[in-house]
Amino acid sequence: MSIDGQLPPKARLLRAAAELLANSGGSAVSTRQITQLAGVTAPTLYHHFGDKEGLFDAVVAAGFDEYVAGERDFAPSGQPLEDIRRMWDNHVQFGLKQPELYLVMFGNIRPESRPAIVADAEALMEEMLNKAAVSGQLNVPPREAARSILAANVGVTLMLIAEKAPERNLELSAMTRDAMVFAVSTEQARNNGSVDSGESSVVVAAIALNAALQASHSDQLSSSELKLFLEWLHRISNSSTS
Amino acid sequence: MSIDGQLPPKARLLRAAAELLANSGGSAVSTRQITQLAGVTAPTLYHHFGDKEGLFDAVVAAGFDEYVAGERDFAPSGQPLEDIRRMWDNHVQFGLKQPELYLVMFGNIRPESRPAIVADAEALMEEMLNKAAVSGQLNVPPREAARSILAANVGVTLMLIAEKAPERNLELSAMTRDAMVFAVSTEQARNNGSVDSGESSVVVAAIALNAALQASHSDQLSSSELKLFLEWLHRISNSSTS
DNA sequence: GTAGTTCATATAGCGTTGCTATAGGTGCTA
DNA sequence: TAGCACCTATAGCAACGCTATATGAACTAC
C-alpha cells in the first residue's frame, strides 16, 4: 500500500497526492496520508512544496496540463462557436471524471483570492472566442464572453458534481451551454423578424396542444381518457386566462 | 470582546458564529473562536448543534431566511421573467454583501452531497418560473429552467466573489442573467428559423399546461388520471425537444 | 584525500483543530 | 424532599498542518 518504484520522493509525493485526491470520496486529504502513501516523512513534503497548498497547486498544474490537452485535442472545426461548445463539454466531462481534482481546481473559492487556474482557463476560452470574433460571430468582446461562459460552465459543473451520480442530467449542461453561446453570438441578430404568436397564453397553448393531440399520437390514450383530457383542457383554457 | 446579554447560550453561539463567519476574511473559523466569543465551552456547542457543520447549517438557515425575504420582498411585477431577473440580481447581491456566509451556503461543494439549501433555492426559483410557464412564456420545463438558471447564477456569483472587490464587473452578471432568461423564454424567435411553428408551440403548450395542472391541484381529476396525463404531457414536451 | 558546502531526508514535537467521556449544577414536577 | 431532565464545565483524546534540529549523501575546492 505504498507508491514505490525508483521514482524520486518529489514525484512520489505528487503521485500519492493525486491518487488520494482522486479517491478521497469528498473527505479531506491529510498530509500524513500523503506522506505515508508516498513513503516519505513530513519534512520532505515541505522541503519540496513549501506547504500543503503548494503540493496541491503542483497536482493542479499537472491536472491542468491534462485539462488543456483535452481542450486543445480536437482539431479546430473551422466553426469557432462549435469549438466553444466542445470546450464546454470537455470542461464538464473533466469535472465529472475527476471531481475531487476539479474541486481543488475550481471549487476552492475564497473571497478576493482568485485561483491562478481560473485565469488560465479564461485565457484558453478567450483565445478560442477570439477566432469567433475575427470572423464576426461575436457580439460582445471575447474577454467578457469568456468570463461569462466560464462562470456558467463552472457553475453547471459544480452543480452536477454535487448531485448524486445516477441523477446527473447532462441536459442541464447542454441547455446552459447553448444559452450562453447563443447569447454571445451574432446568430440572435435575426430574432427581430416575425415572431409567430409571440405571447402564447394558456389558451393558445391549450388550443395548440388540443390540435396536436387530435392530429397525432392519439393512440397513446384510450378514447375515454382522451375525451376527459380534452374536457379538462377546455376547462383550463377558460379558467386561467390570467 | 464577547457576546453577552441575557441571550441563552444557543442564541449566543449562533450570533457568534455568524459574526465570525462574516468577518473571517476567508480564513477558517474554529469552534474555539466561536465558543470563546459566545462565552461558553465546547460541549455546549455540541449539545445544541451536534457538530460544527450543524452550527453552520443553523447559521445558514437564518441566512437563508434573509435570502428568501430578499427574494420575496419585491412585489410581483406581473412579469414573471422580470421577476426572475430580479431574483438573479438579488442572489448576486446577497453573495457579494456576505461572501463568507454565501460560500458556506453555496460554495461548500462536495461530490454527491448536495446542500439542502440549493434545493430550497431551486424550489424558490422554480416557483417563480412556474408563473412564467402558466402564461406560456417558458419554452422549457420550469424545473429544468430553474436548475439551469440557478447553476449559472451561482457560478457567476462565485466568480465575482473570487475577484478582488474593485475589479468586480457586474456586467458579467447582467449579461449572463439575460442570456439565461432569454434562453428559457419564448421571447426568442424560433431558434434557427427553420423549426416549424407547430412543433414548438406544442412544446410550449405542454409546458404551460403541465405548470397549470400542478399549480391548480384541482380535484377535478382523480390522482391516477392526473398522473397519467402529466406523464403523457411530459413525454410530449420531451420528445419534441430531443 | 580531506574539508566545506549544499541538497535531501528523518526524528521528534509544537500548537491548533474538531470532538467527547464524564461529572456537576440547575430547575422542574411529584 | 426526591427524582428527573436538561444544560453546562473540566479535562483530555486523536488528528491536523507544520517546523526546529539533526543526519546522511553528493559534489566542489584545494
Is the distance from CB of B125 to CB of B83 less than 8 angstroms? no
Residue B190 scores a pLDDT above 60 = no
**CA dist., res. A172 & res. A88, Å (int):** 12
Beta bridge partners of B143: none
Which is more confident, A151 or A216? A151
* A178 interaction partners in chain B (CB closer than 8 Å): 183
Question: B84 CA to D30 C1', in Å?
Answer: 81
Q: In whole numbers, what is the pLDDT of chain A averaged over residues? A: 78
Residue type, B91: H
| Nearest chain A residue to B101, by CA | A111
Instruction: Say what the pLDDT of residue B157 is.
Output: 97
**Does position A198 have pLDDT exceeding 90, yes or no?**
no
* Contacts A154 to B, Cβ<8 Å: 155, 158-159
Res B3 pLDDT > 80: no
Task: Inform me whether the C-beta atom of residue B176 falls under 8 Å from chain A C-beta atoms.
Answer: yes
Is B109 an 8 Å CB contact of chain A? yes
Helix pair angle (A142-162, A116-134), 10° resolution = 130
Q: Which cell goes with B206? A: 405542454
Q: Average pLDDT over chain B, rounded to whole? A: 79
Q: Are A152 and B155 in contact (CB under 8 A)?
A: yes
The pLDDT score that the predictor gives to residue B110 is 87
Residues A53 and A66: their CA atoms lie apart, in Å, by 20
Give the residue from chain A lying closest to B144, CA to CA.
A172
Contact A26 B113 (CB under 8 A): yes
Dihedral, CA of residue A186, residue A187, residue A193 and residue A196, to nearest 10: -140
Closest-CA residue to A138 (of A151, A153, A127, A122): A127
pLDDT at B174 over 90: yes
Q: What angle separates helix B80-97 from helix B170-184, to the nearest 10 degrees? A: 150
Mean local confidence (pLDDT), B150-173: 95
Q: Report yes or no: B117 at the A interface, CB cutoff 8 Å.
A: no
Distance A162 CA to D7 C1' (A): 37
Prediction pTM value: 0.79
Residue lying closest to nucleotide D6, CA to C1':
B47
Q: Which of residues 18-77 of B touch A (CB under 8 A)?
A: 25-26
- Whether pLDDT at A210 is above 50: no
Q: State the average pLDDT over residues A96-111.
A: 89
Dihedral sign, CA of B157, B163, B165, B171? Answer: negative
Q: Cell numbers at residue B158, please?
A: 462565485
Answer for the pair B168, B106: CB distance below 8 angstroms, yes or no. no
d(CA B120, CA A57): 34
Mean pLDDT over B185-192 rounds to 57
Interface test with A, best of B103, B110, B171 (most A CBs within 10 A): B110
Per-residue pLDDT at B49: 94
Q: Does B217 reach chain A within 8 Å, measured CB to CB?
A: no
Residue A16 contacts strand C, CB under 7 A: no
Nucleic strand C under 7 Å from the C-beta of B31: yes
User: What are the φ/ψ torsions at residue B9 (nearest 5 degrees)?
Assistant: -55, -35
pLDDT tens for each residue of A6-56? 678 889 999 999 999 988 877 889 999 999 999 999 999 999 999 999 999
Q: Is B156 on the interface with A (CB under 8 A)?
A: yes
Least confident of A157-166, B54-63, B180-189: B180-189
Q: Tell me which amino acid residue A79 is.
A: Q
Question: What secondary structure does DSSP assign to chain B, as a single string?
Answer: ----TT--HHHHHHHHHHHHHHHSTTS---HHHHHHHHT--HHHHHHHHSSHHHHHHHHHHHHHHHHHHHHHHSPP-S-HHHHHHHHHHHHHHHHHHSHHHHIIIII--BTTB--HHHHHHHHHHHHHHHHHHHTT-BSS-HHHHHHHHHHHHHHHHHHHHHS-GGG--HHHHHHHHHHHHHHHBTTSPPTTS-S-HHHHHHHHHHHHHHHHHHHT--SSS-HHHHHHHHHHHHHHHHHTT-
Distance between first and last Cα of chain B: 61
Torsion, Cα of A76, A81, A86, A88 (10° steps): 140
Contact B144 A201 (CB under 8 A): no
Rounded to 10 degrees, the C-alpha dihedral A95/A97/A101/A105 comes to -20
Q: How far apart are the CA of B7 and the nearest CA of chain A, in angstroms?
A: 31
The answer on pLDDT for A136 being more than 60 is yes
CA distance A52 to A46: 8
Note whether B162 contacts A110, CB cutoff 8 Å. Answer: yes
Using the Cα atoms of residue B90, residue B96, residue B101 and residue B104 in order, give the sign of their dihedral: positive
State the pLDDT at residue A41. Answer: 92
- Please answer whether residues A103 and B111 qualify as being in contact, where contact means their C-beta atoms are separated by less than 8 angstroms: yes
Tell me if A158 and B205 make a contact (CB, 8 A cut-off): no
Is the Cβ pair B172, A201 closer than 8 Å? no
% of chain B residues with pLDDT over 70 = 72
> Worst-scoring range by mean pLDDT, A41-45, A105-109, A167-171, B12-16?
A105-109
Predicted pLDDT at B75: 59
- A114 contacts on B by Cβ (under 8 Å): 162-164
